[in-house]
Amino acid sequence: MKDNLFDRCIKLISTLIAEIEHDLSKELALKDKKMITDLINKLIQTTIKLEKIKQIGVEEELSQQDLQIINDFLEKAQARSS
């Protein structure tokens, strides 16, 4: 279940990055473009960290409650993006 959770997080972040990049191509002030570019970079860094955690595992196992909270969040986020 944990691997699936990481995959869902990574997919959601990738979708978010694609949507932001699409919006970035629109006419925006330079200041806004820099802010959005910084956000994309942070999302990419988060994705890399998730991939590393997924590959090497985590020192402490996530509890079922933690997994459920994350799953609920992902479901709500995906519902909003649909």
Q: Is the pTM of this model over 0.95?
A: no
If you average pLDDT over residues 9-21, what whole number do you get? 81
Tens of pLDDT along 24-51?
667 767 777 788 788 888 888 888 877 7
CB 12 within 8 A of CB 78: yes
Structure tokens at 55: 């590959």
Cα 76 to the center of its chain, rounded Å: 13
Query: Where exactly are the structural domains of the chain?
Result: 2-81
d(CA 5, CA 18): 20
Q: At what angle do helices 2-24 and 64-81 cross, to 10 degrees?
A: 30
Q: Is pLDDT of 7 > 60?
A: yes
Do 14 and 47 form a contact (C-beta atoms < 8 A)?
Answer: yes
Q: How would you classify residue 41: left for phi > 0, otherwise alpha for psi between -120 and 50, otherwise beta? A: alpha
